[in-house]
Every structure is written in structure tokens, then in C-alpha cells.
Structure 1
Amino acid sequence: MKAREIHEFLNRMWEDILRLNEELRSELSEKGFKVEDVEEVFGAYIFLDGEWKVMKYPHPAFEIKPQMEAGATPESYYLVVAVPRERINENFTGAFIEIFPRSFIYGSDDFLNDVYNWRRDGRVSPVEVLGRIEESDERVFQFEANFGSVEALKRGILRTIDLGKRFGIFDL
């Protein structure tokens, strides 16, 4: 990549997230969610070449309270939903993996050891994923979905809200 391409890519990534943040503020407040300001997030990880690698540079992200974060990295647009262990069940897990085929599930403390990774695991049953969750000492799991565009991310956020409400995931 040339410097101009990197510059334009980063500007587009930030512009997309800033615009989405503004769009969601009024839409989601009507559903009981609070959209926080976009921030520079440091110390995140990205899955590249078969492993999680630290990002020493900031990326744009914002919280959707309760329990969600949306943002963009050089790899994708993403949504992360924090789900307490006691609220995770086979139906929610299966629906999440089916609706969001590009997804990861990992604990909030030991996030580098994922219990589901779409790039590594392919199609596994929700029962198998639940078994991995039950074997873990984690109390909260992060359900992450990756998207190819900011429009797909917005649709994913809305679908996740519907899914989360249906399965009692959110603290509303």
C-alpha cells in the first residue's frame, strides 16, 4: 500500500464509524440503548495469519450500552456483545453463529483463547461451543461478529438487539 491509500483507508474507516454512531443515537435510544461517543481504542487484538495479534495503533469504536461495542479495524467492521455465562444457551449461541457466520466467541478475561473462531472451527454445533464455555472459568463471554461494510454492521447491530431481546441477553 502507498501512503495515500493508507490515508484514504483510515479516513474512510473513521468516517464510517463516526457516521454510524450519529445514525444510531436516536434509533437505539427508542429501544432502550445508549450510544456513547466514538473513541480511539488502544491495545485491541486482530486475528491475522491464524493468530491474535496486538494492534499498537488506535482504531475507532463506540459503546452501545448495555453490553455492546461497535467499531472498525483494518480487517473488518465489528460488533462485540458481552454476555454473562448464565444467560448463554444453545438457542442463542446457535442463532448467533448462524446469523453471523464470521464470528468469534471468547472470554472477557482470557480473550486470546477463543471458544469459537469462524476461521479455525468452521461449522461446529452450538452444543460443542456450549461445552467449551462450560469448561471455561470465564464469567462473561464476548460474542463478536465481523462485517464487510458499515451498512452490514448496522444491520448486524439491529439483528443482535432483536436476538438479544428474544433470548434475554441484555440488562434492560
Structure 2
Amino acid sequence: MNVREIHEFLNEMWESIFTLNEELKLELPKEGFRVEDVEEAFGAYIFLDGEWRLMKYPHPAFEVKPQIEVGATPESYYFVVAVPKERITAEFIGRFIELFPRSFIYGAQDFLSDIYNWRRDGEASPEGILKKIAASDEKLFQFEANFESAGELKKGLMKLIEAGKRFEIFDL
């Protein structure tokens, strides 16, 4: 283990999220969103070696209210948007997985059981995903997208906001 590399990696991860947070605080209020401060998020999971694994260490994250969390883990930069079951359509699902090929869909309560997982279900149809959602007892679903950098995350977040407004998933 190279401690210097770990140190530099973590500093870069946190610094890029702080920078993104400040940029979004200036840009997103005009879109109807409120950007909260960066916090240390605990108890998250990352997808490693084919399974969700608990992170016992903090990672940087912040909320974009309503409904979105933005952050970074050692695996990727990400956003997660919470969508009520009754607002989810096959058209929204199709657009989401088209815009965000590295994505996951899971329930808010049983978040370790994927409805859709890009590593496993790359060829799943939006209609098939919607059937799984309809059959679930979950009332709220998490749509997560992963990115290689904070810059790509920001571009993705803007695409999410555009699509989310079009498909009326937000409580604005």
C-alpha cells in the first residue's frame, strides 16, 4: 500500500466535490434547486467484485434539494435521485439508462437488491425494468449514475435535471 497515493487520491476526491458544490450553489438555484453543504457521509455501499459492500469510512456528499444526492467514493463520482414509484415511466427509465450507461436502479428500503444494474443488466428493456418496479412493494426508487470525474458528474447532473423536468419526477 502506497500511503502517499492514497492520501493524494482522497484529497483530490474531496477537493473536487467541494469545488463542484460551490459551482452548483451558483448555478442550480435558477433551476429551482437548493444545494446543501458538503458533508461526511457514512454507511454507504459501493459495488465491488459483483456485490454491494459497506463503506465503514466517510466519503464526501451533498444534497441537491429536492431528491438528489451528489458525491464521490473510491469507485466513482455519482448522483442518486429519489423518484416516487407513481412518477416512473418506461420512457423515463429508457431515457435514464440511455443518458447514463453506468447506472443502477434500486428501492429506497431494500437498496441492496438491484432492479437494474449496468454491470449485469446492460440489455434490460425499460418495460422489463418498469415491470420489476411495479411488482415491488417499494414506494420510492433510487436512480444512480456513476462517472469518472467531477466534471463528467456535473454534465450528467445537468442532463438529469433536464430529463427530470421533462418527465416530471421532481417536487419543484
Same structural fold, with TM-score higher than 0.5 when normalized by the shorter chain: yes
The correspondence of residues 43-122 of structure 1 with structure 2, limited to 5 A, is 43-122=43-122
Q: How far off its partner does 1:135 sit? A: 1.2
Q: Deviations over 1:24-49 (max 9, x none)?
A: 00100011100000000000000000
Q: Which amino acid aligns with 1:98?
A: E
Aligned length: 172
Aligned equivalents of 1:26, 1:66: Cα separation in 2: 16
Cα shift at 1:123: 1.6
SS at structure 1 position matched to 2:111: coil
Q: Which consecutive aligned stretches of 4+ in structure 1 deviate over 4 angstroms post-superposition? A: none
- Structure 1 residue 122: Cα displacement: 1.5
Report the identity percentage: 69
Partner of 1:137: 137
Larger mean CA deviation between 100-109 and 120-129 belongs to 120-129
Give deviations 1:55-75, integer Å, cap 9, x for gaps.
000000000000000000000
Counterpart secondary structure, 2:82:
strand
AA in 2 matched with 1:28:
L
Which segments of 5 or more consecutive residues in structure 2 lack a partner in the other structure? none
Partners of 2:32 and 2:122 in 1: CA distance: 34
**Which residue is 1:27 aligned to?**
27
Note the C-alpha offset of 1:18: 0.2
When normalised by structure 1's length, the TM-score is 0.99
Q: What is the match of residue 147 of structure 1?
A: 147
For 2:125, the equivalent position in structure 1 comes to 125
CA-atom RMSD, angstroms? 0.5
- TM-score, length-normalised on structure 2? 0.99
Matched AA of 2:56: K
* 3-state secondary structure, aligned to 1:56: coil
CA distance in 2, matches of 1:80, 1:31: 18
Quote the residue 1:36 is aligned against: 36
Letter in 2 for 1:146: N
Q: Secondary structure at the match of 1:112?
A: coil
Match of 1:165 in 2: 165
